[in-house]
Structure 1
Amino acid sequence: MTRTSDGNPTTTPAYYPESENRLGRNVAVLTATQSLGAASPPIIISLGGLVGQMLSSNPALATLPVSLFNLGLALSTIPAGLLIRRLGHRYAYLLGALMGCLAGLVAAWGIYQGSFLTFCVGTSVAGFYAACVQSYRFAAADAAPPALRSKAISRIMLGGLVAAIIGPQIVIWTRDTFVTAPFAGSFLGQAALAVLVMPLILLLKIPAVSHHQNTATGRPLAQIARSPAFIVTASAAVVSYGLMAFIMTAAPMAMVSCGFTPGQAALGIQWHILAMFGPSFITGHLIARFGKIVITALGLVLTGLSGLIALQGLELSHFWGSLILLGIGWNFGFIGATAMLTDCYEPAERAKVQSLNDFLVFGTVAVASFSSGSLLTSSGWDRINTLMLPLVTVVLLMLGWLAWQKRRQPRHA
């Protein structure tokens, strides 16, 4: 193993599948589990505020269940990574699915009992399952040779496109199952989706790491976190996902305040979600063709353009156009940053580095969830879109600097 001058590994020889068939099998399984597992957050996000209004005596706490879900996701990223390292992907993901099932049952029970606290516990526990689902993309990368990692990650993210359809449909089909407990059926549906994931996970066959890799610790996490490559990569991921979550949360409220109907706002979010995952058909190929840094930068450029479109006016076309471009920008930026992260660690370091990256990303999302409504009220829609532009610019400059540094580095044997 050779290193660059800043201490980063020049190669990341994670364990590889024994054959192309095994790689294809693992990617197919992870795509299927992503399709079912990623359908849970849309259920929680779309219904959490409505159930909160129904159960809470304080209107200000209505969105607390959704915020606690995001907080639970952020806080679970590191424990989930440690469990994957200790138990392996299959058993850690089985535990995650079991927690997802339990979360849905607890949330449904909270609605049936009329207990706001119990419902909040259910959405919080769902955060651990979501943390496991988010790591599916890393499992695909770890099981693939370097040349195929970006394509494997992109394939897994396609599952999100299916999940964006399954989640809302579960809500529509089950929300009126129990007349005396509205929406309880939807959270039972969430539990059922987690149950369906379990037999699929048993089909996952990622070869176990060697004893040396499992017991080795690699470089200290603080040293890795200080490396320029990690700083730039994590910044790109945080800004790509954080801005997307912040704008997506604020957009429906802004649209309704401008006189558009909730249905028009919901349709805008649906187009946004389709734009988030639809490009995954080609993102991996684009990364292989143009490089990780270039596609990540393109994603951030599109995110900045979405803000500029939003600043052009308050017509429906401005809102929808901005949301669609924001979704495409997230896809390129987040998948590109995920692919970049695989170059920042050795096999012995991957669990802690992946967990730190996701903690930073989803910690930011949790903060965005708590603050988007208040900032929209205090500053307005135009101000929010103006403030995003300097963040995008700074990260683009960082990516340009990293690309320049990589070109200057001598090649190692």
Structure 2
Amino acid sequence: MATRKKEATSFDTGVRQSNAVVLSVAQGLYTAAVAIDLTLTGLTGYQLAPDKSLATLPFALITVASAIATLFASLLMQKIGRRRGFVIGAATGALGGLVSVWAILQNDFWWFCLGTAAVGIFQAFAQYYRLAAADSVAPQQKAKAISMVLAGGVIAAILGPALAAWSKNLFPTLFAGSYLMVFLLGVGSILVLVFGFRDVEAEIIPADEAAVARSLTTVFRQPISLAALANNVIGGVVMMFVMTAAPLAAVANHHSIDDGANIIQWHLVGMFAPSFVAGHLIKRYGMPSVLFAGMLLSAACTFIASASSSLPAFYVALLCLGIGWNFMFVGGTALLASSHTPAERAKVQGVAELVRNIFTAAASLVAGPILERFGWVNLNLVNVPLLVVAAALTVFWMRTERSSERVVSDSPAASR
């Protein structure tokens, strides 16, 4: 009996380790697919729209559909398992790519909207890849697992736009071939998840714990939850706010459209490349140090962008922004994964991702009007008080953690 238990534990550990690798590959395929949509959907929408004022609707539907499906995706995976849920998400994305191809060939704007909305649903499921990796490892390994998954986006951030450019003329109708790549990348995700990912046996939830699962209000009032939300949400808002406006600001400052695209590609590398080291940095220097480094880099983006409108300033500012977002996002996700019990997981993670999606979607929608009315410098300065709030809530969590550690160390049981 002891031998069987040991073998089962060894198998379980192996599955947990391989899952992070599989999810990293799946993250890369998903990121490449979404990068194609983000690169071309605005242009394709303009090409197909019966009324040019509707041209940005297909692009907006990616974010809107993702926000609507976020909580549903978490609750569904609680019932049917993450493996089946992830496959459903990838299949929906593949179908969305295929619908988009058909819509472009038929010159049908509304079917194209349906296709991009399906890719948004793919995004809703895929955003749980990092959390699935974190939930399958010990607390001290969560940040490393999250970093490994996000690292899968590094090559994809470059590959996606390159695929979009290479395949846009595969069919007589412009851009139809690019959305065929979205379909193929979705199919690739399905195959990777079906043959590589395994649901690790769910942790046994004691009856008394399941019965007293806390309310969402109680969970999100915890200092660790507030710090997690602050870093995930504010980091995402600051990043989306500047990233959305940067190409427009670059062109307005007499740089070329290609320069604007290259700035964003450089920013995407900054978003994902630090994932190779973020987990190790957290282990070596501690979570607070990496979180504050992320906030300082995000603030550096603000001040560099405000100080100069030269092309090098755009590149450096957007690179700092990408790295800053990565540090805040990896750290915030690790805090979120440690803030709840297994019984509370689906609702807590679903609501946290919903909140993040709503705020980042709002940031992307208001960035253009704010840039138009108040200018590039003022748009960047808006981020400063947001980062101050993130820092304050992170300090609040740190002080609470230290107080708890002192109470434990001063207890009679600890002194024995």
TM-score bin, normalised by smaller chain: over 0.9
Aligned to 1:351: 346
Aligned to 2:327: 332
CA distance in 1, matches of 2:192, 2:240: 29
Aligned to 2:202: 209
Kept after mapping to 2: 8 A contact 1:158/1:280: yes
Return the offset for 1:17: 7.6
Q: Choose the corresponding residue for 1:186, options 168, 174, 178.
A: 178
Cα 1:292–1:18 shift into 2, 3 Å: farther
Cα 1:346–1:157 shift into 2, 3 Å: same
CA distance in 2, matches of 1:292, 1:74: 28
Cα 1:280–1:317 shift into 2, 3 Å: same
Aligned to 2:269: 274
Aligned to 1:8: none
State yes or no: 1:53 paired with 2:50.
Answer: no
CA distance in 2, matches of 1:75, 1:354: 14
CA distance in 2, matches of 1:254, 1:162: 26
After TM superposition, list the pairs within 5 Å mapping 1:279-318 onto structure 2: 279-318=274-313
Moved over 6 A (4+): none
State yes or no: 1:101 paired with 2:94.
Answer: yes
2:69 counterpart SS class: helix
Kept after mapping to 1: 8 A contact 2:232/2:332: yes
**Gapped runs of 5+ residues in structure 2?**
1-8
Return the offset for 1:60: 2.9
Q: Report the aligned-residue RMSD.
A: 1.8
Aligned to 2:132: 139
After TM superposition, list the pairs within 5 Å mapping 1:3-402 onto structure 2: 18-179=11-172, 181-202=173-194, 203-209=196-202, 212=205, 216=210, 218-402=213-397
Aligned to 1:6: none
Q: Choose the corresponding residue for 2:400, options 381, 402, 405.
A: 405
Kept after mapping to 2: 8 A contact 1:158/1:281: yes
Return the offset for 1:297: 2.0
Kept after mapping to 2: 8 A contact 1:69/1:123: yes
Cα 1:198–1:251 shift into 2, 3 Å: same
CA distance in 1, matches of 2:174, 2:368: 25
Cα 1:17–1:241 shift into 2, 3 Å: farther
CA distance in 1, matches of 2:121, 2:204: 27
Cα 1:392–1:279 shift into 2, 3 Å: same
Kept after mapping to 2: 8 A contact 1:306/1:321: yes
- Tell me the number of residue pairs that the alignment of Structure 1 and Structure 2 aligns: 397
Kept after mapping to 1: 8 A contact 2:227/2:332: no
Cα 1:314–1:408 shift into 2, 3 Å: same
What percentage of aligned pairs have identical amino acids?
36
Aligned to 1:9: none
TM-score, normalising length from structure 2? 0.91
CA distance in 2, matches of 1:17, 1:257: 58
Max radius of gyration: which structure?
2
Return the offset for 1:244: 0.5
2:332 counterpart SS class: helix
AA partner of residue 201 (structure 1): L
**Gapped runs of 5+ residues in structure 1?**
1-15
CA distance in 2, matches of 1:17, 1:65: 47
Structure 1 residues 41-97: Cα deviation after superposition (integer angstroms, max 9, x where no partner): 211111111011111133332222111101111111101101111111111111111
Structure 1 residues 382-408: Cα deviation after superposition (integer angstroms, max 9, x where no partner): 110011111111211221121112111
Pick 1 or 2: higher relative contact order, CA cutoff 8 A, min separation 6: 1
TM-score, normalising length from structure 1? 0.92
1:208 counterpart SS class: coil
2:307 counterpart SS class: coil
1:311 counterpart SS class: helix
AA partner of residue 320 (structure 1): Y
CA distance in 2, matches of 1:103, 1:183: 14
Cα 1:283–1:238 shift into 2, 3 Å: same
Structure 1 residues 278-311: Cα deviation after superposition (integer angstroms, max 9, x where no partner): 1111100111122223212211111011100001
1:230 counterpart SS class: helix
Kept after mapping to 1: 8 A contact 2:223/2:396: no
AA partner of residue 411 (structure 1): V
Structure 1 residues 164-195: Cα deviation after superposition (integer angstroms, max 9, x where no partner): 1221122022111112x211111111011110
Kept after mapping to 2: 8 A contact 1:143/1:206: no
